[in-house]
Homo-oligomer: A and B are copies of this chain.
């Protein structure tokens, strides 16, 4: 029978990225392409102990249907963390999500009518671009520099397009690694608030700071329910358990709850209880310190190999934390072509064009330094350096 799909699928393929990740199934590939944490960083013994204990103690409740909003003690704990960051919120302002990607989907479903303008950073997270496109949004890129979103351009784009919301990853941005300067943050929230433009603040990497001064979440400057903040445990505990949260206006969160009922009824209870118990165990701070130590070493190694193995004339975006290094090669260089050549030599990355809502920027690329071992970083970066040298 022919498939008469909904029109929201017109022009959506998502195939370029899927093709990249299919290639990576080859275990020989040294992949700088993903956004995966280091597998050796997962606290598997602790989580094994927790999962078994909580199922034996509370299996009747954990294995039963749970509330769509989430597990109460976990929500309290996430609110406590938010409070320490200067965020005012109570139980009416929070919902547990199945990873922060679900928060992006919920925001899209709650706000986007076909043709609505959504402002995004340029470049931005591929998953968000794709989700907004499935709601037939019109994505408009806001200009950024090495300190994040340019406020003048933000104001101009707001005046011109009357967008529904701004999607931003203000800290250790994906893919650029850039952090929005502290002195732009309050102003950014004020500009959006005054123009009735919501902000979706996606902050999965904020805890992973290697250097520089701490910054405040956009939500901490929010005075009138402008900001919906997405929290994730994927990069500090585990992505495979799929636990995040959204914090914001109670009216918005209650719409998220309504839509989450259809998407998965609730986030797996066992995963929620495991995150709660891990947070309560007191292990998290030391665990994050260990992740930071490991990732900052890997990042430094990757940077030194860019210096020694790559051709000159490559711009490296500033990066004080997170998972990514963003490179701009001399103009005219095509990283899609370099990608094909590199994969033949078993090294992968993501060509930068995929991170731009309107494509282009073919001379950019993203490297992930968190997942691969130091030995493989050394090996892979030498190969990649040679491929780039041979192709520019």
A residues near B (Cβ < 8 Å) are: 1-9, 12, 14, 34, 36-37, 39-40, 42, 44-45, 47-49, 51-53, 55-56, 59-66, 98-99, 101-102, 104-105, 108-113, 116, 127, 130-131, 134-135, 164, 193, 196, 198, 224-226, 234, 238-242, 249, 251-252, 255, 258-259, 261-271
Which residue of B has the minimal Cβ distance to A241?
A: B268
A64 and B36 contact, CB distance less than 8 A: yes
A55 and B63 contact, CB distance less than 8 A: no
**A269: which B residues are within 8 A, CB to CB?**
240-241
Given A127-B265, A267-B268, 18 other A-B residues pairs in contact with their CB atoms under 8 A: A4-B164, A6-B109, A7-B113, A34-B65, A40-B60, A45-B59, A48-B52, A51-B270, A61-B240, A98-B268, A102-B262, A102-B263, A130-B262, A134-B258, A239-B265, A240-B268, A268-B268, A268-B270
List 8 A–B pairs whose Cβ atoms lie within 8 Å, in order of A's numbering. A2-B196, A5-B110, A12-B258, A44-B60, A65-B240, A99-B265, A105-B262, A268-B270
A26 to chain B, nearest CB (A): 14
B55 and A37 contact, CB distance less than 8 A: no
B241 and A3 contact, CB distance less than 8 A: no
Contact among B14, B60, B98 with A261 in the assembled complex (CB-CB below 8 Å) = B14
A6 and B264 contact, CB distance less than 8 A: no
Contact A64-B52, Cβ < 8 Å, known A1-B224, A3-B249: no
A39 to chain B, nearest CB (A): 4
B261 and A242 contact, CB distance less than 8 A: no
Complex CA gap A4/B117 in Å reads 13
Complex CA gap A104/B261 in Å reads 11
Which residue of B has the minimal Cβ distance to A197?
A: B1
Complex CA gap A45/B111 in Å reads 43
Interface centre among A6, A36, A49 (most CB of B within 10 A): A6
A132 to chain B, nearest CB (A): 9
B52 and A49 contact, CB distance less than 8 A: yes
Complex CA gap A6/B118 in Å reads 13
Complex CA gap A98/B260 in Å reads 11
Contact A264-B264, Cβ < 8 Å, known A44-B63, A63-B238, A65-B36: yes
**A1: which B residues are within 8 A, CB to CB?**
193, 196, 198, 224-226, 249
**A127: which B residues are within 8 A, CB to CB?**
261-262, 265
B226 and A102 contact, CB distance less than 8 A: no
**A259: which B residues are within 8 A, CB to CB?**
134
Which residue of B has the minimal Cβ distance to A105?
A: B262
Complex CA gap A297/B49 in Å reads 37
Which residue of B has the minimal Cβ distance to A51?
A: B51
Complex CA gap A166/B194 in Å reads 46
A60 and B48 contact, CB distance less than 8 A: no
B6 and A112 contact, CB distance less than 8 A: yes
Which residue of B has the minimal Cβ distance to A242?
A: B268
